[in-house]
Structure formats: structure tokens, C-alpha cells
Amino acid sequence: WCIGLIGMAIKYAEALLAVRYRTTDKNGEMCGGPMHFIEKGLGSRFLAVCFALFGVCAAMGGGNMIQANSVADVMESSLSIAPWLTGVVLAAGTALTLAGGIKGIGKVASYLVPFMAILYLTGGITVLVLKADLIPAAFGMILSAAFKGQAAVGGFAGASVWAAIRLGLSRGLSSSEAGLGTASIAAAAAKTDYPGRQALVSMSGAFISTIVMCTITGLVIAVAGVLGAQKANGAVLDGASLTVAAFNSILPGSGWVVTIGLVFFAFSTILGWGYYGEKCMEYLFHERSIPYYRILFSLMVIPGATWDLDLVWRIADVTNALMAIPNLLGVLFLSRLVYTETRQFETILKKEGR
């Protein structure tokens, strides 16, 4: 929640700068993002190249692998489908969609995302209505688990608090993409008349993904009381399989809502990261490198589906951190411009009567 609220402001600044410094490529498409506003706004080609390089690594090392791992996990626990098979199918679908470029990605996402969001929100709200009496206790459990030292590691209580903060920071950034700069790449491609207008749209994404969706998921798991439950092989449930178990424990057979919603959400997220990495690769090596990038990106989905969840998250944490550093430096040093543009946009909104 804390990261989500802070992330809204960061995503606003990122999107505003991306639109402010975007350019038009030879195909007539708008392109922008941190690598562009860092180079043009700060005048630092070095930092811009660093972001683009780390962006490619993050796209292939975390952006696609986390989602593939989640889908493989839920497909194995729900339908007993081997992770490698899920990975192959996802990789094939990713390759075919990326071949269509931004228009193909946008068309697929325009169908998948609204359907997924409505389906998941309906299922989650239904569960919470049925267990409304447990919601206050669920909030209490979430807050106490975050700040109590009951799971202390290494002999001091603060270790558990630090672990909770680190985990929350990692998952919050991954969920909202705030601070990573990736969402601003998509924002730069949008049709808009003022940078501030698109920045508001981009900011709302952090609220929906982190504040709304993650809160519903956390509460469903808490009221279901499935934390610590085990799989058939004795391993503790985590990730998507834990959410499926939570839904099934309250509404038997409703786990399919999570399964379908997760597959659609994960696939659209993989496509989004594919586009982010593609624009970073294009910035580094121009358009001739894109076909090779698309092949490698699609292939990396397979190990993402089969590797251990903790390993995949560790890779994502490292690549995300590397990408966030140059992006946040750019946002920080261009913050005065963000303020100026925002005040100008406020004047425009007043003239429009808003």
C-alpha cells in the first residue's frame, strides 16, 4: 500500500517526462521513455544507455519470467499440466503476438485486460462479501505481520520487519512498475494533447494494480486462512497456487476465476514487457536488432516457467533495481520541469472547467 501510494506520484512524473521528450520514429509511431528524457533532458547519454541496457535485461530476466512462472504454477496445481508445456505454449503465443508490433500487442491487451479485471474483481468481491465479518481481523493480521518481530531472523526482531519492508518494496514495484520507468515507455506511445493528461492516466494504473487488486488478493488469502497450507508434495503453497487455494476454500470450484484471470493478466503483462524491452533494444541497436530480440525474449519464457519461484524473483529484483537507478535519477533531476508542466496543465484544466 505504501509503495502503491508513493508509486502513483512517481508514475505521474515518469509519464509526463516521457510524453514531454518523446519523438516520432520513421514508421510514424511515437516513442519515448526514460532513455529519451534522460538523454534529452539531462544530457546524459551514458545514463540513457545504462537504462536501456538494464531494461532489456529486466524484460528478459524478470518481466516475462515472473509471469510465466505464475501461470505454470497455477496450471500445474489446478490442471496438473507440466510447467515446461505451459512455458512452450506461452512462448509460442508471445512470439506470434510480438510479431505484430505495438498494434498487435494493443489489440490483444484491449481484449484480455478488461475481461481479466472484471472477472477477478467480481470473484474477489464476492468472496469478501461472504466473509465480511472477517475483514477487520484480516487487516489486523496483515498489519501485525508486517511490523511485529514474531518471525525474527538472525537473533533480532527488526530482521522480520526489514524482511517485510524489502518484500513489500519488491512486490509493490513489480506490481505497479513505479520507479522502473517501463510504464512511461507505453505512455509515450499514447495519443494525447498534453503530457499531464497522459500522466494522470498512467498514475491511475498504480492505484488499480497495487491498491485495488493487491488489496483484494491479500484480504481473500487472509480471510480464507490458507497461509501455511501445503501442496501434495509437501511444499508450502505460495504465489498463484496460494490464491487459487484461498478462493476454493471459500467458494469450492471458484479457483478457475484465478486461473483464467491470471493466465490473461500474465500473458498481457509478458507482451507489455516485450514491448518495453523492444524499445530499449531499438534505442541501443536500432530496428535491425528487433527480430533477434523477439526470438530471445520469447524463448526466455520457457525457463521462467520451469525455474524455482524464489530464483525467478531474485533475478527480477536485481534487474529491476539496476533499471530503477538511472530512471529515478532522471526523474529527480528533472523534477522542476515536472512541477512546471503540472502547473501549466492545471491552468489548462481550469480553462476547460475541470
Q: Is the pLDDT of residue 217 over 80?
A: yes
308 has a pLDDT exceeding 70: yes
pLDDT score recorded for residue 176: 62
Please report, as a single letter, which amino acid is at residue 176.
S
Cβ–Cβ under 8 Å, residues 164 and 245: no
Judge whether residue 37 has pLDDT over 70.
yes
Higher pLDDT: 196 or 283? It is: 283
The pTM assigned to this predicted structure is 0.79
CA distance 52 to 276: 9
Predicted local distance difference test score (pLDDT) of residue 160: 40
Residues 60 and 226 sit within 8 Å (Cβ to Cβ): no
Neighbour-count burial of 42, counting CB atoms closer than 10 A to its CB (0-12 exposed, 13-18 middle, 19+ buried) = middle
pLDDT by residue (tens digit) across 56-107? 999 988 788 888 988 888 888 778 889 999 999 999 989 988 887 666 666 6
Average pLDDT along the chain = 80
Q: What are phi and psi of 39, to 5 degrees?
A: -70, -45
Tell me the pLDDT band of 298, cut-offs 50, 70 and 90: very high
Q: Residue 201: pLDDT band by 50, 70, 90 thresholds?
A: confident
Residue 124: the pLDDT is: 86
Give the DSSP H/E element, type plus range, for residue 24.
strand 23-24
- Asked whether the beta carbons of 58 and 316 are under 8 A apart, the reply is yes
User: How many domains, in total, are found in the chain?
Assistant: 1
pLDDT of residue 174: 56
Does 278 or 229 have the greater pLDDT score?
278
CATH number at residue 142: 1.20.1740.10
More confident residue, 341 or 156: 341
42-56, 91-105, 318-332: range with lowest mean pLDDT: 91-105
Cα-atom radius of gyration of the chain, to the nearest Å? 21
Lowest mean pLDDT among 108-117, 140-149, 285-294: 140-149
How big is the CA angle at 265 (ends 263 and 267), to the nearest 5 degrees?
A: 65
What is the predicted pLDDT for the residue at 330? 92
- The pLDDT assigned to 101 comes to 64
Q: What is the pLDDT of residue 9?
A: 85
At residue 55, the pLDDT reads 92
Q: Does 278 score more than 70 pLDDT? A: yes
Using the predicted structure, report yes or no on whether residue 149 has a pLDDT greater than 70. no
CA distance 12 to 120: 26
Residues 6+ away with beta carbon under 8 Å from 155: none
Confidence of residue 166 (pLDDT cuts 50, 70, 90): very low
Host domain of residue 288:
2-351
| pLDDT reading at 154 higher than 70 | no
